[in-house]
Structure 1
Amino acid sequence: MYRDGWSGANITDAIAQYETTLLTPSRFDTYLRGDRHALNSEELRGYHLFKANHCATCHVGKNLGGRSFERMGLAADYFAARGYTSTADNGRANVTNDALDRHAFKTPTLRNVELTAPYFHDGSRTNLHEAVRDMATYQVGKQLSDSDVNAIVAFLKTLTGTRQPVATH
């Protein structure tokens, strides 16, 4: 509660205070801060595969995504493979009316990704293994081995954080 009531500054402060409750530091953050023992060898292998397979091209920054709109199906036609067409699948083009934005969707953050199923803009993948395999197929044009998929999923699970206590003023 703000003593001076509603104001732009108070609303901005309230939103900023709320957003601090959304921070969920993870083992990956600990690794990035220099603790080389924060991740095990399988998780590190997954991190290296994540980078080697160009996942970090779209999933960038501290949140590993959420900064851009990217086209779904760069390497293979995701929409034809699904056999389903809908104007909802036109992505950003539904807003911009620009054909170049067709099938472009906001790249999601990967923070806490193991907790946010289902995956993709259409909710069509129910587990991370499916999502990783399909992203490699449709975005990169690669068929990953089960071992590589498992390693990338192990890395993605290191992005699950612990909820921080809410600060009160």
Structure 2
Amino acid sequence: MLAVAVAGVTLSGRAEPAAPGQPASELADSTPAPGERALAARLLAPCCWEQTLDVHESELTRELRREIRGRLRRGESADAIEQDLVARHGERIRAAPSSGVLGKVAFGLMLGIAVTFLGVFALLRSWRRAAAQPAPSDVAVAAAARDEYDERLDDELREHGA
């Protein structure tokens, strides 16, 4: 049992070397702080930008996990820690865009759908109005055409004595 504690093996089976100046009590108590795993899963390792902090293994990610654990245990909120890491490493450290970006994208999509719906609605409404208007009857058209030419025809027939 003493050999396991001296070797610094964590409860998860991974060995984490002690950082210079790190108290032995912090190394021995390597159980994750509440919210640590969720926060580490939301952040990318700044050494490669390919894996999240919870799965990547490098000295930098181990330091960041220890920092997160310590800050959470001291009572800092996960959001405040995330904001600080974003300020230090840039927005790229987030594994997923912040909710502000997602909100803007969702708003844009909803706005586009609404405009499309309104355009289709207006088009269908104009078609319905055009279909609802009474078409001029063939009799009325024939009567209007007959009246215009009928007088001329009657005049010519009178001239010829017919």
Q: TM-score over 0.5 for the alignment?
A: no
Between 1 and 2, higher relative CO (CA 8 Å, sep ≥ 6) is seen in 1
- Name the TM-score, length of structure 2 as normaliser: 0.23
Larger helix share, 1 or 2: 2
Report the TM-score when normalising by structure 1. 0.22
